[in-house]
Amino acid sequence: MKRHLLLSLALLALPLPGGATGLDLARELAAEGDWRACLTECRRVEVENPELATPARELRQRVSATLTATPRSSSWWRRIGALPVKAMVGFYRFAVAPALGTRCSLTPSCSAYSLQAARERGWLGLPMTGDRLIREPDVVNARQSPFRKNGRTLYPDPISAHIGGHSNHMHTQSRTQP
């Protein structure tokens, strides 16, 4: 436990690998049910990419309607425990990712994985994020189940394949084989 905490604290200082950017990331977040992060990403796209402002605004409006119709989780401890991960990913997406661009070769992206882990497992999302970042090169080198998306080769690494994950993840949706 102490080792996981120290690893998690050390990760805050590391440059994290980039995830999907722009409207694709917002759509991925919406598909995963992370509506608040999707809304934030849609607002960012509307400001930074005027040519994508209309589809981002439409997605934001659909997600807003879904969010207002969905009751909030009653597990307050899980939401509070997820705050460090959400803050770390928010900082990364706002300050680091725009400079680095898309770098993560896994799906879901590393930042989307972190948010999903935090949403599903609360504070355990922090060590799960550390595990994902350390494991990324091994998953890519194993080259199991690669697929192409937008001209990039990606490798599935869903939370459901790890401790505490649920099986309803994005990687099972449409993908094309190389």
End-to-end CA distance of the chain: 40
- pLDDT of amino acid 9: 36
- Sorted by where each begins, the domain ranges of the chain are 19-172
- Ranked by mean pLDDT, which of 2-6, 19-23, 144-148 comes out on top? 144-148
Q: Are strands 106-107 and 147-149 parallel, antiparallel or unpaired?
A: unpaired
| pLDDT tens digits, 125-160 | 888 888 888 877 777 777 777 777 778 777 777 777
- Kindly give, in sequence order, each residue whose CB lies less than 8 Å from that of residue 119, ignoring residues fewer than 6 positions away: 33, 34, 78, 82, 125
The confidence band for 85, taking pLDDT boundaries of 50, 70 and 90, is: confident
> pLDDT grade, residue 63 (50/70/90)?
confident
Say what the pLDDT of residue 38 is: 84
Characterize 101-120 residue by residue with b for buried, 16 or more Cβ atoms within 10 angstroms of its Cβ, and e for exposed. Answer: ebebbbbbbbbbbbbbbbbb
pLDDT band per the 50, 70, 90 thresholds, residue 173: very low
Q: Is the peptide bond before 108 cis (omega within 30 degrees of 0)?
A: yes
Nearest one of 90, 89, 25, 92 to 63, comparing CA atoms: 25
- Over the stretch 86-131, which tens digit does the pLDDT of each residue have? 888 889 888 888 888 777 777 788 888 888 888 877 888 888 888 8
Lowest mean pLDDT among 16-20, 41-45, 110-114: 16-20
**What is the pLDDT, as a whole number, of residue 163?**
63
Residues 55, 142 contacting (CB under 8 angstroms): no
pLDDT of residue 161: 67
Task: Give SS3 for 166.
Answer: coil
